[in-house]
Amino acid sequence: MGRRVVRRLRLPAAGLSLMLLLLVPTAAAGADSVWLDAAGRPNASARDALQILADAPADGLVAQDYQARELALQAADLVRAPGSAAASAPAFERALDTAMQRFLNDLHSGRVDPRSLGFRVAEHEPKTGDVAALLHAAADEGRLSQAVAALRPGLGQYGRLREALQHYRALAADASPGLLPSIAPARSLKAGDIYAGAGALHRLLVALGDLPAEAPPPADRYDAVLADGVSRFQERHGLEADGALGRATLAALNVPLSQRVLQLELALERLRWLPELDDQPLIGINIPMFRLWAWDPAAPADSLVDMNVVVGRALNTRTPVLSEKMRYVIFRPYWNVPPSIVRNEILPAIARDPAYLQRHDMEIVRGAGDNVQPVEASTPHNLALLRQGVLRLRQRPGPKNSLGRVKFIFPNDENVYLHDTPATQLFGRARRDFSHGCVRVEKPVALARWVLRDQPEWTPERIDAALAGPSSQRVDLTRPLPVILFYMTAMVTPSDRALRFAQDIYGHDARLVRALASRNDGRR
C-alpha cells in the first residue's frame, strides 16, 4: 500500500478547523472516476476540490452553499473505512461533482442573474461555457486550482477586493471596540476640542489605514492628528473631507465592520456579472460613488482619466445599471427633451411664464432626423400637440443647453448617455444624484480627447474647435468603446488604489441581499 500522508482541511465558513485524516496513496486513481481512486477513496483532485469549496468565503461566497462540511465528513468516512463505505462512494462522487460545478458557475457568472433585478449587464454576452467538461479536464490533470483562478473575473479590481475582504474579515473578527461616543446634536468637533472617544477613534483609524500605526495616540482631545485621519476616512467614504467630526461622519465610523464585509461580498458578486472585456479600453461609472474612470490597460498608468459625475436622483429618476458600447460623440448637441420632462416640468413652467421657451433657447419642432421643422411655440394648439407627443421640444446648442457642449452616445433601451453640463457647481457636492437619469461628466474635454485618441484626425485643437463651433456635429468612433454603468458600494479606485465605501443610495444592495437569501432558501 502507498505511503500515507496527513492533510489538514480548513473550513473557514463554519468558523472551525476540521482535521481530516485524508490518506494519500501512491497508487494511480481509478480509470473510470474523476474523484475516487482505485480503492474507492477520495483522490488528490477530490481533496483539492474539498479545500476549494472550504475556501469559498475568500471569494465572498458561502461554503455551505456547496455542502463543504457534509462532503468533507463523507470524504473522511470513505478514507477511514473504504470497504464498508463503498456503497456511499458513488453518491459522494455525484455530490462533489454537483457542488464543484455549482461553485464554478457561481464564481464565474454570479449567484444571481442580474436581469432578475432589472439590471442590463452582460445579458448579450454569456460567459459560462461547458463547466462540467472544464471541471473534469482540470481534475484529470490535477489543475483544479488553476481552473478556479481562470474562472474568476479577470479585472484587477476583483483581486484587490478579495484582498480587502480578507483584511476586513480579520478586523471584524477582533473584539469590537463598541460605538464611538456621541457628540452634541448640531455640533461638529474640530481639532483641539475635548472628546472622550479620542483613544477609541485613534485605534479605529489606525486599523482602517486612515492613520499610520506610529501616529501618536491622543489624550482626551480631538487633536490635529485625529482630524487628518478623519479627513482621509471622510474622503474614502463619500463625505465632505473637512476633518470635522460631525454626526454624519460619526455614523459612518460606527458602521459595523461586518456591514463593510457584506458590502465587499456584494461588490465581488457584481463584478461576476460583468462581461469579459479581454483587457480592452473601458469607461466605467460607479453610480453610488458618483465617479467615472476611463482607462486603457495597454496604455501608461498616467493616461487614466477620472472625474466626478452627477447621476440620476434616487427618488424617481435613477441611472440604470447597464453595459453597452459607445459608438459616437456629438459636439454642440441639441437636447431633445424627453416627453416626461415636457409634461411634468416644461409645460407647467410655460403656464407660469409664457416666455420660458425663449429664455431657455428652446423650440417646438415636428418631424425627425433631417426633416425637423420648427413651429410657432406660443399657440395653445401647439402646446396641446406638444403635451400629446405629436410635436417635440428641443433646446438649441449654446451656453444654455442642458447637455453642454458634447454628449457621448452608447445606444441603449433606457436612452441614457454621458454629457457635459452648464451646472458645474454640483460637482463640488459630496452627494451628486441630481440628474434625470443621464450622467453628467465633470471633465468633458478630457473625456472627448480620451475617447477620440485613436482617431488621429481628431487633434486636441480640432476637438476644441468642435466644442466651440456654430453647429452640431456627429463623430462616429472607429472602434466602439465598452461603457459600464455599474453599482458597487465598495471599490478599490484605480486612480489611487484606495478602498472606498459608498451609501446604498438606490437600495440595490438591500435588494441583492434579499435575492441571495431567497436563492439560498430555494436550495434548502
Q: Which residues are catalytic?
A: 419, 438
Cα separation, 346 vs 357, in Å, equals 9
For residues 110 and 218, give the distance between their C-alpha atoms in angstroms, rounded to a whole number: 45
Hey, which residues does 66 pair with through a beta bridge? none
**Helices (H), ranges, 332-456:** 339-341, 347-352, 356-359, 380-388, 444-451
Q: For residues 229 and 382, give the distance between their C-alpha atoms in angstroms, rounded to a whole number.
A: 60
Of the candidates 307, 189, 289, 291, which has an alpha carbon nearest to the alpha carbon of residue 242?
A: 189
Residue 56 cell numbers, joined = 469559498
The grid coordinates listed for 237 are 467614504
Cell numbers placing 96: 462533489
Q: Annotate 442-483 with DSSP letters as a single string.
A: S-HHHHHHHHTTT-TTS-HHHHHHHHH-SS-EEEEEEEEEEE
Find where cell 501618536 sits.
216
> Cell 461547458 appears where?
130
Give, to the nearest 10 degrees, the angle between helix 68-80 and helix 89-109. 150
- Burial (CB count within 10 angstroms: exposed 0-12, middle 13-18, buried 19+), residue 322: buried
Q: Which amino acid is at 194?
A: I
* List of residues 6+ apart from 152 with CB closer than 8 A: 59, 107, 108, 158, 159
Q: Is residue 111 exposed (0-12), middle (13-18) or buried (19+ Cβ within 10 Å)? A: buried
The three cell numbers of residue 279 are 483587457
* Per-residue DSSP letter, 344: I
Residue 234 near residue 198 (C-beta atoms within 8 A): no
Q: H-helix or E-strand containing 27?
A: none
Rounded Cα–Cα distance for residues 80 and 504 (Å): 50
Q: What are the grid coordinates assigned to 323, written together?
A: 453595459
170 beta partners: none
Contact 248, 239 (CB under 8 A): yes
- What DSSP element (H or E) covers 310? strand 305-312
Q: Can you read off the three cell numbers belonging to residue 196?
A: 472622550
C-alpha 44/C-alpha 49 separation (Å) is 9
Between CA 413 and CA 496 the distance in angstroms is 34
Separation between Cα atoms, residue 53 and residue 136, nearest integer Å: 16
| Cα–Cα dist 75/93, whole Å | 10
